[in-house]
């Protein structure tokens, strides 16, 4: 096996992201030595909420989500995320 290259130090996540988009990780990491990891104490990064919506709106969302082949809750989250991304820009 060839000697692995050293992973460079990055100034920020954007620089690291760009690096890995343009480089093959197999030149830097020996994947045959990976070990399975478990993180049993991770906490959810999302918080469940209750929101009341008209039934007709929920039905329309479900139809649209079905057309997109995604769960309707995911479609709602995507829509909210996009709306607030626009607002905060």
Mean pLDDT of 21-30: 94
Q: How many CB atoms lie within 10 A of CB 16?
A: 14
pLDDT tens-digit series, residues 59-86: 999 999 999 999 999 999 999 999 887 7
Q: Tell me what percent of the residues of the chain surpass a pLDDT of 70.
A: 94
Provide CB contacts within 8 A for 62, sequence distance 6+: 72
Q: Tell me what percent of the residues of the chain surpass a pLDDT of 90.
A: 73
Q: What Cα–Cα distance (Å) separates residue 3 from each residue in 20, 26, 82?
A: 19, 11, 44
- Give the residue extent of every domain in the chain: 1-33, 55-88
């Amino acid at each position: 096996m060839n000697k692995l290259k050293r992973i460079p130090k990055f100034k920020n996540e954007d620089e690291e992201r760009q690096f890995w988009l343009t480089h093959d990780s197999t030149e830097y990491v020996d994947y045959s030595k990976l070990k399975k990891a478990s993180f049993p104490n991770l906490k959810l990064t999302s918080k469940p909420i209750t929101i009341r919506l008209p039934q007709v709106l929920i039905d329309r969302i479900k139809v649209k989500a079905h057309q997109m082949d995604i769960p309707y809750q995911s479609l709602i989250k995507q829509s909210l995320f996009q709306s607030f991304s626009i607002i905060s820009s």
